[in-house]
Structure 1
Amino acid sequence: MGAELSKQVERRKDIDTQKKILCDLEEKNGCNFPGCDYHVQDRKNWMSELIPEKLHVNKIVWPGTHDSATNEIGIPFISRPFAQCQSLSIYQQLAIGVRVLDIRVQEDRRICHGILLCYNVDVVINDIKKFLSETHSEIIILEIRTEFGHDDPLDFDKYLEDELGEFLIHQDDNVFNKTIVELLPKRIICVWKPRKSPQPRQGSPLWSSNYLKDNWIDTDLPEKKFKSNMKYLSEQPPVTSRKFFYRVENTVTPQADNPVLWVKPVTDRIHPYARLFIMECISQGYGDRLQIFSTDFIDEGFVDACIGLTNARIEGTL
Structure 2
Amino acid sequence: MASIISKLKELDDLPQKVDSEISNLEKHEKAVKSEAKTLEDLQQKSGNRFPGSDYHPSDRKNWMNGLDPQKIPINKIIWPGTHDSATNEIGIPDITRPFAQCQSLSIYDQLVLGTRVLDIRVQEDRRVCHGILLSYNIDVVINDIKKFLSETSSEIIILEIRTEFGHDDPPEFDNYLVGELSDFLIHQDDRVFDMTVAELLPKRVICVWKPSKSAPPKSGDPLWSSAYLKDNWIDNDLPWTKFQSNMKYLSEQPPVSNRKFFYRVENTVTPQANYPDVVIKSVTWRIHPYARLFISQCLSKDYVDRLQIFSTDFIDEDFVDACIGFTFAKIEGKA
Query: TM-score, normalised on structure 2?
Result: 0.95
Matched position secondary structure for 1:112: strand
Q: Which residue of 1 aligns with 2:248?
A: 231
Distance 2:258 2:56 in 1: 28
Matched to 2:183, the amino acid is E
Residue 75 of structure 1, aligned match among 86, 92, 97: 92
How far did 1:4 drift? 1.1
Deviation by residue 1:100-145 (Cα, 9 ceiling, x = unmatched): 0000000000000000000000000000000000000000000000
Query: Any gaps of 5 or more consecutive residues in structure 1?
Result: none
Q: Which residue of 2 aligns with 1:200?
A: 217
Q: Which residue of 1 aligns with 2:170?
A: 153
Say yes or no: does 1:24 pair with 2:41: yes
Matched to 1:219, the amino acid is N
Distance 2:274 2:235 in 1: 13
Query: Any gaps of 5 or more consecutive residues in structure 2?
Result: 1-17
Matched position secondary structure for 1:72: coil
Larger gyration radius, structure 1 or structure 2:
2
Residue 288 of structure 2, aligned match among 261, 267, 271: 271
Deviation by residue 1:201-246 (Cα, 9 ceiling, x = unmatched): 1000000000000001110000000000000000001111110000
Distance 1:307 1:239 in 2: 17
Q: Which residue of 2 aligns with 1:246?
A: 263
Matched to 1:124, the amino acid is V
Say yes or no: does 1:300 pair with 2:310: no
How far did 1:256 drift? 1.1
Aligned length: 318
CA RMSD of the aligned region, Å?
0.5
Deviation by residue 1:262-289 (Cα, 9 ceiling, x = unmatched): 1000000000000000000110010110
Q: Which residue of 2 aligns with 1:12?
A: 29
Distance 2:262 2:254 in 1: 11
- 1:71-110 correspondence runs (5 A): 71-110=88-127
Distance 1:7 1:303 in 2: 37
How far did 1:257 drift? 1.0
Matched position secondary structure for 1:21: helix
**Identity fraction in percent:** 72
Say yes or no: does 1:179 pair with 2:196: yes
Deviation by residue 1:60-116 (Cα, 9 ceiling, x = unmatched): 000000000000000000000000000000000000000000000000000000000
How far did 1:2 drift? 2.1
Distance 1:300 1:32 in 2: 16
Q: Which residue of 2 aligns with 1:41?
A: 58
Q: Which residue of 2 aligns with 1:289?
A: 306
Matched position secondary structure for 2:69: coil
- 1:208-219 correspondence runs (5 A): 208-219=225-236
Matched to 1:88, the amino acid is L
Q: Which residue of 1 aligns with 2:79?
A: 62
How far did 1:3 drift? 1.8
Matched to 1:200, the amino acid is P
Matched position secondary structure for 1:240: helix
Matched to 1:65, the amino acid is T
Distance 1:191 1:3 in 2: 45
Query: TM-score, normalised on structure 1?
Result: 1.00
Matched to 1:108, the amino acid is D
Matched position secondary structure for 1:64: strand
- 1:252-263 correspondence runs (5 A): 252-263=269-280
Q: Which runs of 4+ in 1 moved over 2 A?
A: none
Matched to 1:116, the amino acid is L
Q: Which residue of 2 aligns with 1:128?
A: 145
Distance 2:208 2:310 in 1: 16
